[in-house]
Amino acid sequence: MAPAGNWITLRTAIKNGADAVYFGCDKLNMRAKAKNFTLDELKDVVDFCHKNKVKAYLTVNSIILEDDINDLETILTAAKESGVDMIICWDVAVIQRCKILGLPFCISTQASVSNYQAAEFYASLGAQRVVLARECTFEEIKKIRSKTKIEIETFIHGAMCVAISGRCFLSHEIFGRSANQGDCLQPCRREYEIYDKKVDSSLIVGEDYILSAKDLCAIEFIDKLIEAGIDSFKIEGRKRSPEYVAKVTSVYRRAIDMYFKKQLTDEIKKELLEELKLVYNRGFSTGFYFGKPGTYDFASLEGSASKVRKEYIGKVINYYKKAKAAYVQILSGSLKKKDNILILGQTSGMIEMTVEKILIDEVEVDSAEKGDRITFTCDELVRPNDQVYIYKKED
Which sign does the torsion angle of CA 295, 299, 301, 305 carry? positive
Domains of the chain: 2-166+211-297 (3.20.20.70), 308-393 (2.40.30.10)
Q: Which pLDDT belongs to residue 175?
A: 82
Contact 310, 342 (CB under 8 A): yes
The per-residue pLDDT for 168 is 76
pLDDT of residue 197: 85
Give, in order, the Cα–Cα distances in Å from 45 to each of 19, 52, 234: 15, 11, 19
- Is the pTM higher than 0.85? yes
CA distances from 346 to 4, 8, 158, 387 (A): 12, 5, 24, 10
Task: Give the phi and the psi of residue 351 in degrees, each rounded to 5.
Answer: -115, 125
DSSP 156-185: EEE---SSGGG---HHHHHHS--GGGT---
In this prediction, residue 179 carries a pLDDT of 72
| pLDDT (tens place) for every residue of the chain, 395 residues total | 999 999 999 999 999 999 999 999 988 876 666 677 999 999 999 999 999 999 999 999 989 999 999 999 999 999 999 999 999 999 999 999 999 999 999 999 999 999 999 999 999 999 999 999 999 999 999 999 999 999 999 999 998 887 777 777 777 777 887 777 777 777 777 787 888 888 888 877 766 677 788 899 999 999 999 999 999 999 999 989 999 999 999 999 999 999 999 999 999 999 999 999 999 899 999 999 998 887 667 777 777 888 888 999 999 999 999 999 999 999 999 999 999 999 999 999 999 999 999 999 999 999 999 999 999 999 999 999 999 999 887 66
Q: What pLDDT, on a 0 to 100 scale, did the predictor assign at position 344?
A: 96
DSSP reduced 3-state for 134: coil
Half-sphere CA count of 143, side-chain side, radius 13 A: 9
d(CA 252, CA 250): 6
Task: Tell me the C-alpha distance between 287 and 14, whole Å.
Answer: 26
